Copies of this chain bind each other. A is one copy, B any other.
Amino acid sequence: MAVETATDKTMTMREAVGAYVRDGDTVSLEGFTHLIPTAAGHEIIRQGRRGLTVVRMTADIVVDQMLAAGCVSRLVSSFVGNSSAGSLGELRRRVERADPEPLAFEEYSHYGMICRYIAGAQRLPFYPLRSYGGSDLPGVNPAMRKVTSPYPGPDGESEQIYVVPPVNPDVTIVHAQRADRSGNTQVWGLTGVQAEAVYAARKAVVVVEEIVEDEVVRSDPNRTLIPAHAVDAVVVCPRGAHPSFAQGYYDRDNAFYRAWAGISKDKERLTAWLAEWVHGTRDHAEYVAKLGEEFWDGLAVGEAMSLPVNYGRRL
């Protein structure tokens, strides 16, 4: 019936960051431990963006790198640590000593961040959640407010609940395993809050391990976490989530996570690292090549294929 007229939204990372990330923008980078859009963060550093507000649940290595490169003036996050592998050196210098400059920090909890994305995606003025009662967080984050329920609580009395406001990033960037050229994006393994972060954004860039033919995506439409209508650009960038992982593609580089505590603690080492690995590479392909095939062999994963399901065909 319908003729194929899908729009090709593929572009290079340089083009995507050039087109969709501007100085002063609010930029969401999502991916909960899995599929962290590191390569996109590196390209933002290469292009020298300034004054960004970064929104990210787990502000980890890529955020520390963007902070060190001077891209970020405000951070909205619920966890500012290097996973369980130590501290983020630059972040701590910025927050504890305003060194080399202050960092505005809006602190949330994980679910608070999730609810902000949901509210943003669903165009809601606020989202209620059963967190924060008695916490000191609302005292340092005036965006956490209370609403009285119009229904009586279990005890018949009126009931209060905290709410958080929507977040609507200028652009959300996520990493995924695969997409078609028009942006139908398939993710498996941990899916985090990526779909909500994309729907909340004015523009969305999806970075993928690979572009696949339409038939691959359409063989399993339930696997499409982000439909094409929510996507503005598709960037092919294999291994773009390193040092995090891409389920079924490559494993997590735990050694790098552990190393980051030391690198980031020493500003000179950190600066040298950025010079060598980010400014010193033209793009992520060079970064990948510089790490070398032997390195990547160490993160290779074997096969554990899903069993197919039948979507059925009218006879």
Contact = CB atoms under 8 A, between A and B. Distances in A.
21 contacts: A125-B149, A125-B153, A145-B151, A146-B150, A147-B150, A150-B163, A189-B311, A216-B307, A220-B309, A223-B309, A249-B312, A251-B314, A301-B313, A301-B315, A303-B312, A304-B311, A304-B312, A305-B310, A306-B309, A307-B308, A308-B308
Contacts of A280: none
A263 interface: no
A191 interface: yes
Interface of A: 123-130, 145-151, 153, 159, 161, 163, 165, 177, 186, 188-189, 191, 216, 219-220, 222-223, 247-249, 251, 300-315
How many copies of the polypeptide does the oligomer hold? 2
Given A123-B130, A219-B306, 20 more contacts: A124-B128, A125-B161, A126-B128, A128-B128, A145-B150, A145-B151, A146-B150, A147-B147, A177-B309, A186-B309, A216-B307, A219-B304, A220-B309, A248-B310, A249-B310, A301-B310, A301-B312, A302-B312, A306-B308, A307-B308
A121 to B, nearest CB: 13
Contact of A309 (B124, B128, B305): B305
B188 A309 contact: yes
Contact of A310 (B126, B148, B303, B313): B303
A167 to B, nearest CB: 12
Given A150-B147, A301-B315, A315-B302, A125 B128 contact: yes
Contacts of A219: 304-307
